[in-house]
Amino acid sequence: MAHFLLVHGAWHGGWCWQRVVQALAGAGHRAHAVTLTGLGERAHLLSSTITLETHISDVLGAIEAEEMQDVVLAVHSYAGMLGTAAADRMTSRLRHLVYVDAVVPRPGESWCSTHASTTREARLAAAKASADYSIPPPDPQVFGLSGADCDWVRRRQTPHPGHTYTAPLEFDPARVSSVPRTFVNCTAPALATIDAVRLRVADSTFWGGHWQRGGSAVEMKTGHDPMVSAPADLARLLASYA
């Protein structure tokens, strides 16, 4: 039995992993899906006081509370920031870090650092215009979803705490790279805000060369939400790192 901790991206909640959790549990593993503060069933806690550190604490706290060791940590999209922090601060507790079409920052960067200026400005303007400094969710069609899956995600998405968008993350790439890492590149369709990351993980000089030491990439021919659009395939991939 392996331990899996699954962390959703922006606008989502632990709910988005339910099909993957069921598949991993059916294979005899232990899987726990975190819901970050202010999102999903915790949307009632949404406020302008939520920061990147709040969400990092959610992830580290889940590892502690669930008493997990040798964890396969899967982080989706925005949560790449959180997975990077976890690998930096809880290195010995992680077996493998899986960036599921996720942000892979450089030290000192924020979630928004690799986004086009038009995207960044629009999201910041929306946050400023909201009562709780939050960013409204996009139409899940941009994640390559359609039909019932698209309707399900559209119903469940909630605004995302805006102060997580520009907060920088400091970390030691050498320490993070001591954890084996995989970037899951979702290409059908490829989400534009992840394009810069795709180039990074193929660059031998990324993180001063540290990424290549234990870092790899695999392709999934599905959209940005593979836990919804291809859960069985994603579960099999995650289980291969157990």
Give the list of residues 6+ apart from residue 98 with CB closer than 8 angstroms, or none: 72, 73, 74, 75, 83, 181, 182, 184, 237, 238, 241
- In the three-class reduction of DSSP (H, G, I as helix; E, B as strand; rest coil), residue 167 is classed as coil
Closest CA to 33 of 9, 50, 57, 1: 9
Q: Which two tokens stand for residue 146?
A: 């359609």
The amino acid at 115: H
74: left (phi over 0), alpha (psi -120 to 50) or beta: beta
Q: Give the CA distances from residue 27 to residues 70, 76, 92, 206, in Å, rounded to whole numbers and listed in that order.
A: 18, 22, 25, 35
What is the bridge-based pairing of β-strands 134-135 and 160-161? antiparallel
- Active-site position among 47, 48, 77, 240: 77
Q: Which one-letter amino acid corresponds to residue 188?
A: A
Q: Alpha-carbon distance 81 to 90, whole Å?
A: 14
Helix (H) or strand (E) run with residue 76 in it: strand 71-76
77 catalytic residue (yes or no)? yes
The percent of the chain in helix, strand and coil, each rounded to the nearest 5, is: 45, 15, 35
| Catalytic residue IDs | 77
